[in-house]
Structure formats: C-alpha cells, structure tokens
C-alpha cells in the first residue's frame, strides 16, 4: 500500500501544496550547522553550531516540498507559529554511514552537518526526522530559528576561490546546479583541473538520462589551489592538508574518499550557486564516494575515473544504492534474515513480487526473482577481490590495479551479456552488499559493475525524477 501511495504521490507531485507566498526571501540561503554525535552509551544526539547566510539561493522557487520519500533522514522547515510546512528534503550523512560500522559500537564520534534552505521571512522551526525500520519517519531533533535574531549571521559568505562555468543552461532557480571543487591541485595545476572537470562532465552527459536532459543543468567549477599536489592518504603514508580536507581510507576502506570537514566544504562551496557537489581529487589512486544530498568525490587519474564520477554522482544526486555485493566494505550488513524493504529506488527485498516498486518496468515474461549466473559470478569476484587486496597490501603502482580492473571488466561483460535475461528488467538477487535477500533491477548497471552498460531502466527513471524536482 505504501508503494502504491508513493506512486500516486509522484503523479500529483506537480500539484503538491506549496508554502504561502512571501514565506522566503530567495536572495539568500539559510544554512543551519549542527553537530551530530553518537556512540555505544550516549545514543544519537544533535547540537546547534551556528546559523549563517550561505549566499544566493540556487534551488527551485516552486518545488519546495520534497515528494520523493528518499533518504534515511529528512528535514522540514515549518512556520514556527502556524506549523505550516514550508520546505523539506531527504538526505543521508556521514554520521548515518558511520553508525553502521563496527567502530560505532565501541567509540563515540561527532560529525558536522548542514541543512540549507531559502531564507525565511518569519521565525521557523527546523526539524530533523529519521527513518525507522518500518519506513516511517520520526522526529529526532528540532531547533527554532528567528531570521532577525542577532545570533543569526546575515553577512554574505567570504569568497573562497575562482568560479568558472562549464555548462550554462539558464538561471540557477530553474536548473540543476552542480559544483565541481578542486582538491589537491596546485596553482600551476589548475588548468589540469579544468581539463579533468570537462572530461568527467562530458562522460556524465554521455549517459542517459543526463544526455537527454543536459539543458536542465548548470555546471560550475571552483578553483581552490593547494600548496602540494595530491590529498591525504593515511594508509599509504602520504599526508597532506588541503582546502576542504578530502581524504582516502574513510572508515578504513582503502578506496573510500570523503571530506569530514563539512564546515570548510560548505564555506568554500558558498562561493558559487549550487545544489550538488562533487570534489575532484587530484590523485592517481582509484577511489571516490557519494552520499545522498551531501557530497560526492572522485579521484581523477585512475583508468576508471569516469566510471567513479558517474557512479558516485548517482548516489549523491538520486539516492541510488550500490548494487554490488562482493567487494569489501566498511559497513556491517544484516546477514540472511528477512530484509526490510530498502528506501533506495533501485534495490528491493522482494517481499511481494506483485508489489515490486518497479513492477511497471519489468520486461514481459521475466520471472521474479530472475535467474542469473550468480554462483559463477561470485566465484570469479572472490578471486579478483583477493588479488585486489594483495595489490593494495604491497602498495603497488596503480597500473596494476587498472590492469586487474580491465581484466575483471572483460570477464564480467562477457558473462553478464550472455545470459537468458541479460538486458531484461526483473529482480536479480545480490545487491547493496548482500548476497541474499536483496535484489537489483537488471543483471548489470553502472551501480553494479564498472562495465560499459550505463544506468539500468530503473536508475534512469529515478534520476529523471530528481532532475524534475530541481529544474521546474
């Protein structure tokens, strides 16, 4: 029933109730910074850091209420007096990912996070809500904000670097605004950053649905020169200090790249109009990361940088889940017990095939669940992962990793293209780090492998819906 209601909600998204006229002054963005803390004895807590002017509002002025039901968290901005809903968005966070690691059972940590929305013209209540196991949201924190308070810093943000335009399609409020940030580029290497940004953006717009929707995007770059080339790679013994502190080995995963310095990231990004961010890391080592409505990153020098850029943007932009399940990850998975239906649009627990959330896209005649060469794939993948760990243990040249990935790509493409239901939309078991109990829509997708197949039909639809949300 919940899925049916969600579909109906989408059909009527264009007529969702909107806040009263004059609720926002769109010349400015309000940014609420807070600390998100947790651990084995304290539980989950929030504390306000500051409220600041984050520059001109780049988002839609008409699509203010989020109908997507995406994200493990959601925030709402409500009129403090009347309680009217003025703005909402779903999101994920570094804290939310850390909460699923083994470390969270033994250590306490605090992460800095931000909520951004149009500048309100009256006092508001900002509410953070968390998704529970049954899929419903419950309030976990709120704070009242009076935009005229002396404790709200209305000064414009400090300009952090040079902004250049790569794709200019129209005013920010009518387009998706993507900002690419340089990280680990020296002043002399900034022309390389522009070339890297152009290359990666063109790779993104070569994929559907981005190719067909290119005119719905603005893409800008932010040049933040570093004193040295490269970024912090602690497991390799390479130490750097950079403008927004992007680093490898997040949660001790050799390929996971993020910044944990949210304040530095937001202060720098406020230099340009933006809704989505991808940090380009000037490194040869394979790596990247993506968190829904938070950040995405990619290293630019790997042989598979274009794939990483697109894959991680899929996480950040459209809340797409990882569909792979045989690679090493830092997260603790749930085992083989009955799974809760995931909130991500491209993964399902398939409790009821008749109610599959992409049932309308299933290829006629395709059984649910859908048979595929799963055992053969897993056997080959285990061997690849063992060789991958050995390469990293030796700190071998990155060319060895590139060669391994090309070998893996060639084998997987042959296998996954040659099956009975290759190219069909169904429900293929093995997804979101789980070999059993979770299913992906197609045998292959850019969210599953590094193969040259692009996004599956379900992911393409999910991306298109987010483009609609931010470009109308």
State the pLDDT confidence band at 349, using cuts at 50, 70 and 90. very high
Q: Say if CB 219 and CB 306 are below 8 A apart.
A: no
- Out of 153, 172, 197, pick the residue that ends a domain: 153
Region of residue 386 (left: phi > 0; alpha: psi -120 to 50; beta: else): alpha
Token match 């390479």: residue? Answer: 238
Task: Name the residue range of residue 180's domain.
Answer: 162-319
- Out of 298, 319, 340, pick the residue that ends a domain: 319
Q: In this structure, is residue 330 part of a structural domain? A: no
Q: In this structure, is residue 191 part of a structural domain? A: yes
- Together in a domain, 135 and 177: no
- Together in a domain, 101 and 6: yes
Q: In this structure, is residue 70 part of a structural domain? A: yes
Q: CB-based burial of residue 148 (10 Å sphere; 0-12 exposed, 13-18 middle, 19+ buried)?
A: exposed
Q: Say if CB 249 and CB 206 are below 8 A apart.
A: no
Q: In this structure, is residue 334 part of a structural domain? A: no
Helix (H, G, I), strand (E, B) or coil at 170: coil
Question: Percent of the chain having pLDDT more than 70?
Answer: 94
Q: In this structure, is residue 58 part of a structural domain? A: yes
- What's the predicted TM-score (pTM) here? 0.94
- Together in a domain, 45 and 143: yes
- Together in a domain, 213 and 285: yes
- Domains held by the chain: number: 3
Through-space distance between the first and last CA atoms of the chain, rounded to whole angstroms: 29
- Together in a domain, 249 and 273: yes
- Together in a domain, 287 and 414: no
- Together in a domain, 100 and 186: no
- Out of 153, 187, 217, pick the residue that ends a domain: 153
Token pair of 155, please? Answer: 């000064």
- Together in a domain, 315 and 373: no
- Together in a domain, 216 and 296: yes
Mean pLDDT over all residues of the chain?
94
Mean pLDDT of 438-445: 98
Q: What is the CATH number of the domain that holds 27?
A: 2.60.40.3250
Report pLDDT for 19: 77
**Residues 213-252, buried b or exposed e (16+ Cβ, 10 A)?**
beebbbbbbbbbbbeeebbbbeeeeeebebbbbbbbbbbe
Q: Cα(226)–Cα(245) distance, rounded to whole angstroms? A: 11
- Together in a domain, 116 and 174: no
- Together in a domain, 434 and 295: no
Kindly tell me if the per-residue pLDDT of 2 is higher than 50: no
State the pLDDT confidence band at 338, using cuts at 50, 70 and 90. confident
Q: In this structure, is residue 11 part of a structural domain? A: yes
- Together in a domain, 398 and 283: no
Q: In this structure, is residue 273 part of a structural domain? A: yes
Q: Cα(67)–Cα(79) distance, rounded to whole angstroms? A: 19
Kindly tell me if the per-residue pLDDT of 3 is higher than 70: no
pLDDT tens digits for range 370-416 = 999 999 999 999 999 999 999 998 989 999 999 999 999 999 999 99
Mean pLDDT of 77-105: 97
Q: In this structure, is residue 57 part of a structural domain? A: yes
């Amino acid at each position: 029933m919940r899925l049916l209601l969600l579909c109906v909600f989408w059909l009527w998204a264009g007529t969702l109730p909107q806040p009263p006229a004059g609720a926002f002054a769109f010349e400015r963005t309000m940014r609420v910074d807070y600390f998100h803390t947790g651990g084995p004895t304290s539980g989950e807590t929030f504390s306000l850091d500051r409220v600041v002017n984050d520059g001109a509002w780049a988002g839609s002025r008409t699509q203010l209420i989020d109908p997507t039901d995406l994200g493990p968290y959601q925030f709402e901005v409500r009129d403090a007096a009347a309680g009217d809903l003025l703005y909402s968005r779903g999101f994920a966070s570094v804290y939310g990912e850390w909460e699923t690691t083994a470390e969270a059972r033994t250590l306490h940590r605090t992460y800095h996070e931000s909520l951004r929305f149009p500048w309100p013209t009256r006092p508001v209540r900002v509410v953070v809500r968390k998704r529970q196991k049954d899929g419903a949201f419950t309030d976990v924190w709120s704070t009242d904000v009076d935009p005229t308070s002396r404790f709200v810093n209305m000064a414009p943000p400090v300009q952090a670097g040079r902004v250049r335009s790569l794709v200019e399609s129209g005013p920010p409020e009518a387009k998706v605004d993507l900002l690419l940030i340089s990280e680990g580029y020296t002043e002399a290497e900034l022309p390389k950053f522009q070339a890297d940004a152009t290359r990666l953006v063109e790779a993104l717009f070569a994929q559907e649905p981005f190719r067909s929707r290119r005119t719905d995007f603005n893409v800008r770059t932010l040049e933040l020169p570093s004193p040295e080339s490269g970024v912090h790679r602690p497991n390799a013994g390479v130490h750097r200090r950079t403008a927004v502190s992007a680093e490898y080995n997040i949660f001790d995963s050799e390929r996971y790249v993020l910044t944990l310095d949210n304040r530095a990231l937001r202060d720098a990004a406020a230099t340009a109009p933006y809704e989505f961010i991808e940090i380009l890391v000037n490194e040869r080592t394979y790596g990247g990361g993506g968190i829904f409505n938070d950040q995405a990153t990619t290293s630019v020098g790997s042989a598979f940088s274009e794939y990483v850029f697109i894959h991680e943007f899929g996480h950040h932009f459209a809340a797409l889940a990882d569909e792979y399940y045989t690679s090493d990850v830092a997260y603790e998975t749930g085992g083989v017990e009955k799974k809760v239906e995931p909130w991500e649009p491209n993964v399902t627990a398939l409790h009821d095939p008749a109610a599959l959330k992409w049932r309308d896209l299933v290829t006629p005649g395709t059984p649910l669940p859908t048979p595929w060469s799963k055992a053969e794939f897993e056997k080959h993948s285990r061997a690849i992962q063992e060789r991958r760990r050995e390469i990293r243990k030796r700190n071998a040249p990155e060319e060895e990793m590139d060669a391994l990935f090309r070998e893996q790509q060639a084998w997987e493409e042959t296998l996954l293209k040659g099956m009975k239901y290759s190219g069909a939309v169904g429900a293929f078991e093995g997804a979101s780090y789980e070999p059993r109990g979770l299913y992906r829509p197609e045998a292959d997708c850019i969210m599953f492998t590094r193969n040259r197949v692009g996004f599956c039909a379900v992911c393409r639809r999910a991306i298109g819906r987010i483009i609609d949300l931010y470009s109308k």
